[in-house]
Structure 1
Amino acid sequence: MFNKVLLLDDNKATNFIHTKFLKQSDACNEIVSFLTGKDALEHLQDKDNVFPDLIISDINMPTMDVWEFLDLYNAIERSVKTNPKIILLTTSLSPEDNERIKVYPMVSQIINKPLDKRAIQNLIEKFIKGEDSQQ
């Protein structure tokens, strides 16, 4: 189970739907969502907040795209900064995005949005049940 999931998407309805599916899956204890990369980064930098186990972010956002977010995320210095799984969401997977993730090894994968129950189940299988079988 993920202790905490951070959702980042500039579309409030998308965050709502993703939150609903995550809650239905019983895969996490806490879900926080943000509409801007700036707000998400402020949350991540706040030492009073538990660091997430999973970050799910849209690639294309108007004020700060995911690439700028990831660059600033890398600069976060926290003693409790964990290495969360980072999933990027896209409406159309471009070859450029596939090339760009090679520069960001912390990105686990890119998947099509919106998340649905099957995609969340796949994340659970890969990251939660997969870890259990490796221990």
Structure 2
Amino acid sequence: MRLKKKICVIDDDEIYQMIMRRVIGKADVFEGKQHFCNAMDALREFQDLSRTLPDLILLDINMPGIDGWQFIEELREKRPEFEKKTRLYIVTSSIAQSDQIKAKSYKEVFDFISKPISVDQLRAIADSLY
């Protein structure tokens, strides 16, 4: 079933971005797709209040410039209502227990998933969107 939902992937790994484009395409549940290799570029896009936030953000935490945690803090400041409109998942290669604990401390983070995300996982996430 094709949803009228939008997804955004923020990850500095270009190969992973290419993989996610394929996964998103195979899942066939999202109408709008955005990809950012730089969290700062995503912030610039999302701080524009005239733009609609995506329904789902898949966010890496280990990125150059500003990392995923800083992205959440900045977005929270610019768009304080974003957690009511957007479901944010940390999708990372980090297996550090401290990152999992930190993710749980953010009310904006819905879940912590280890890379790579599968087509079935993405479909399940899409099914759970509001």
> TM-score if structure 1 supplies the norm length?
0.83
Taking the aligned partners of 2:38 and 2:96, their CA distance within structure 1 comes to 22
Unaligned ranges ≥5, structure 1: none
Q: Does 1:39 align with 2:36?
A: no
Q: Which residue of 2 aligns with 1:9?
A: 11
Is the CA contact (8 Å cut-off) linking 1:2 and 1:54 kept in structure 2? no
Q: What amino acid does structure 2 have at the position aligned with 1:68?
A: Q
What is the SS of the residue equivalent to 2:12?
coil
Q: What amino acid does structure 2 have at the position aligned with 1:65?
A: D
What is the SS of the residue equivalent to 1:5?
strand
Offset of residue 82 of structure 1:
4.8
Offset of residue 55 of structure 1:
0.4
Offset of residue 5 of structure 1:
0.8
Is the CA contact (8 Å cut-off) linking 2:83 and 2:108 kept in structure 1? no
Q: Does 1:28 align with 2:23?
A: no
Superposed CA RMSD: 2.1
- Taking the TM superposition and a 5 Å limit, the aligned residue runs for 1:60-99 are 60-77=62-79, 82-99=84-101
Q: Which residue of 2 aligns with 1:19?
A: 21
Taking the aligned partners of 1:110 and 1:65, their CA distance within structure 2 comes to 15
Taking the aligned partners of 1:79 and 1:110, their CA distance within structure 2 comes to 21
Taking the aligned partners of 2:92 and 2:49, their CA distance within structure 1 comes to 30
What is the SS of the residue equivalent to 2:21?
helix
Offset of residue 124 of structure 1:
2.8
Offset of residue 45 of structure 1:
1.3
Q: Bigger CA drift: 1-10 or 81-90?
A: 81-90
Taking the aligned partners of 1:107 and 1:10, their CA distance within structure 2 comes to 19
What is the SS of the residue equivalent to 2:54?
coil
Q: After the TM superposition, which segments of 4 or more aligned residues of structure 1 sit over 3 Å from their partners?
A: 77-82
Q: What amino acid does structure 2 have at the position aligned with 1:11?
A: D
> TM-score if structure 2 supplies the norm length?
0.86
Is the CA contact (8 Å cut-off) linking 2:8 and 2:54 kept in structure 1? yes
Cα deviations by residue, 1:92-116 (Å, 9 ceiling, x for unpaired): 3211012212321110101111222
Give identity over the alignment, percent: 25
Which of 118, 121, 135 is residue 120 of structure 2 equivalent to? 118
What is the SS of the residue equivalent to 1:55?
strand
